[in-house]
Amino acid sequence: MTRFLTTLAFLAATTAPAFADVDIQEVETPAGFTAWLVEEPSIPFVSLEIWFRGGTSVDAPGKRGAVNLMTALLEEGSGDLDARGFAEARDDLAASFGFRASDDTVTVSARFLSETTDDAVALLKQAITAPSMDPVAVERVRAQVLAGLRSDAEDPGAIASQTFAKLAFGDHPYGSDGDGTLDSVAALTREDLLAAHAGAMAQDRIYIGAAGDISPEKLAEVIDTLLADLPETGAPLPGPAPLLLTGDVDVVPFETPQSVIQFAQPGMARDDPDFFAAYVVNQIFSGGGFGARLMTEVREKRGLTYGIYAYLAQKDQSELLVGQASTANERAAETVAVIREEWAKMQADGPTQAELDQAKTYLTGAYPLRFDGNDSLARIVVGMQIDGLSIDYIATRNDKVEAVTLEDARRVAGELLDPDALSFVIVGQPEGLDLGN
């Protein structure tokens, strides 16, 4: 019985799972917008993602935090509705709307029952195009943002991220918190917020994804209704963000039992011919799964941490290989030493054939599991557009992973991984670190 089952496991591991394709339609609207749609009528609702490139990085000089505060105010009243009227109208429709600002995007995520499409779109249009920025709402939400900033100042993870951003990116917008500072947020005026709205949510930077129970014709009508009143051009995007990492270990003293360790080095561009080799190497080396080298060495063998991972971060204006772990203060030095050692080992020798094979089977098999619902599909197809991928990318992606040879993987591991550039920020009371690096 046991032998039979083991054989079965072997067979299963060597045949690729069969998956249906994701059918993406490109929709051109009369007003000239482009959207990608996955039409899926079996459940009567629609997921819609509208992303604006630029995000908090288009904050005007001296107005840090304006885009973030503006985005938080979109649901606080618009057109003829105050915050309460807007929320009640939304709940009447059983719709949900999410508005978020990040370094590179302002995103609008909407979900509504297909039979309420027209009403939900009319309400969402108000929020996107005619937010009131009512002074009372501005003060209420400003106080919430300030409270968040004060909490971040006492949060070791947030301190680590912000320290790292400053070291890596200096004066580029990526180098500071998009939420702003206590002073900059306190100084924002209603006019600043209206300017941030016009600058960040303009027609020249829109990407649209939709999935669910909606036809291409109806989607085109919805998009033109929602977006045609926005300004044609927005604020200038920031320029490239050169990385300023020096390979040092920076410690931010903070009273806590556990050190938060962030580490990073230069990454790789999405359109680099070696990107897929780098992606596979990253999976083998520092993917979050069990069996990745860092997870095995730092967690499984030594019990130094609950979790450790690093990933290729693609920002619009920069690329990083960035990771994180947390460990007891007295074990921080050992954790850093193990990470450095594994970094050097992977750079020198690259992965084994067995590791490469397993990573490919995992990546190609797990890929289709992402396409598991309307919300996921809408996010994926809008993300593909903002990343500049082609509409047939999904069908070709696994071939690109399969095409990575052991030679490629070893060469790219050697070229990409750079123990000298690997920089650490540690927040806590780490013991035994040699800071003379």
Partner 1 sequence: MFRSVLFGTGLALMAMVPAHAEAVTEFTLENGLDVVVIEDHRSPAVVHMLWYKVGAADEMPGKSGIAHLLEHLMFKGTEIRSPGEFSQIVEANGGNDNAFTSWDYTGYFQRIAADRLPLMMEMEADRMTNLQLTDELTAPEVSVVLEERNQRTDSNPDALFREQASAAQYLNHPYGRPVIGWRHEVEALTAEDALAFYRRFYVPNNAILIVAGDVTPDEVRSLAETYYGGLVPNPDLAERDRVIEPPQIAARRLVFEDPRIAQPYVVRSYLAPERNSGDQEQAAALSLLGNLLGDGPATSVLGRKLQFDTEVALYTAAYYAGTSLDATTFNLTVVPVDGVSLADAEAALDDVLRQFMIEGVDEDHLARLKRQYAADAIYSMDDAQGLARRYGDALTSGLTVADVQAWPEVIQAVTPEQIMAAAEMVFQDRNSVTGWLRAPIAAETEVTQ
Site for partner 1 in 138-157 (CB under 8 A): 140, 143-144, 147, 150-151, 153-156
374 binds partner 1 (CB under 8 A): yes
CA dihedral 139, 144, 147, 151 (to 10 degrees): -160
Cβ distance to partner 1 smaller for residue 200 or 251: 251
Measuring CA to CA, which residue among 110, 107, 132 is closest to residue 122?
110
Among 161, 282, 305, 318, the residue binding partner 1 under the rule CB under 8 A is: 305
**What's the closest the beta carbon of residue 401 comes to partner 1, in angstroms?**
11
Return all residues near 33 (Cβ < 8 A) that are at least 6 apart. 203, 206, 208, 223, 224, 227
Among 79, 373, 414, 419, the residue binding partner 1 under the rule CB under 8 A is: 373
DSSP readout, 186-254? HH--HHHHHHHHHHHS-GGGEEEEEEES--HHHHHHHHHHHHTTS-S--PPPP--------S-EEEEE-
309 binds partner 1 (CB under 8 A): no
Q: Could you tell me how far CA 367 lies from the centroid of its own chain? A: 17
Return all residues near 23 (Cβ < 8 A) that are at least 6 apart. 38, 39
- Interacting span for partner 1 (CB under 8 A) from 48-56, 198-206, 299-307, 408-416: 299-307
Among 79, 170, 175, 368, the residue binding partner 1 under the rule CB under 8 A is: 368
DSSP readout, 321-334? EEEEEEEEGGGHHH
- Interacting span for partner 1 (CB under 8 A) from 112-120, 266-274, 336-344, 414-422: 112-120
Contact string (CB under 8 A) for partner 1, positions 246-275, x = contact = ---------xxxx-x---------------
9 binds partner 1 (CB under 8 A): yes
Cβ distance to partner 1 smaller for residue 113 or 130: 113
Indicate if the alpha-carbon torsion angle 332, 334, 337, 339 is positive or negative.
Answer: negative
Cβ atoms of residues 346 and 278 within 8 Å: no
Q: Tell me which DSSP letter residue 297 carries.
A: I
Return all residues near 162 (Cβ < 8 A) that are at least 6 apart. 152, 176, 177
Site for partner 1 in 64-83 (CB under 8 A): 76, 83
**What's the closest the beta carbon of residue 18 comes to partner 1, in angstroms?**
7
Contact string (CB under 8 A) for partner 1, positions 13-32, x = contact = x--xxxxx------------
Cβ distance to partner 1 smaller for residue 93 or 278: 93
**What's the closest the beta carbon of residue 369 comes to partner 1, in angstroms?**
5
Token pair recorded at residue 310: 């690093």
**What's the closest the beta carbon of residue 6 comes to partner 1, in angstroms?**
7
**What's the closest the beta carbon of residue 40 comes to partner 1, in angstroms?**
7
Cβ distance to partner 1 smaller for residue 219 or 243: 219
Return all residues near 383 (Cβ < 8 A) that are at least 6 apart. 209
Cβ distance to partner 1 smaller for residue 260 or 268: 260
Cβ atoms of residues 49 and 237 within 8 Å: no
Q: Count each helix (H run) and each strand (E run) in the chain, helices first.
A: 16, 13
93 binds partner 1 (CB under 8 A): yes
Measuring CA to CA, which residue among 157, 102, 104, 99 is closest to residue 124?
99
Among 23, 26, 28, 88, the residue binding partner 1 under the rule CB under 8 A is: 88
Cβ atoms of residues 329 and 428 within 8 Å: yes
Cβ distance to partner 1 smaller for residue 315 or 393: 393
Among 175, 216, 365, 414, the residue binding partner 1 under the rule CB under 8 A is: 365
Site for partner 1 in 197-236 (CB under 8 A): none
395 binds partner 1 (CB under 8 A): no
C-alpha distances in angstroms, 356 versus 28, 142, 278, 359, 407? 41, 50, 12, 5, 10
Alpha helix locations (H) across 34-106? 66-72, 83-92
On the 0-12 / 13-18 / 19+ scale of CB atoms within 10 A, 11 is exposed
Cβ atoms of residues 261 and 327 within 8 Å: yes
- Interacting span for partner 1 (CB under 8 A) from 122-130, 182-190, 321-329, 410-418: 321-329
Among 44, 239, 247, 253, the residue binding partner 1 under the rule CB under 8 A is: 44
Count the alpha carbons within 13 Å of 256 in the hemisphere toward its beta carbon.
19
Among 375, 402, 415, 418, the residue binding partner 1 under the rule CB under 8 A is: 375
Cβ distance to partner 1 smaller for residue 24 or 202: 24
Q: Please count the residues of this chain forming the interface with partner 1, following the rule CB under 8 A.
A: 77
290 binds partner 1 (CB under 8 A): yes
183 binds partner 1 (CB under 8 A): no
115 binds partner 1 (CB under 8 A): yes
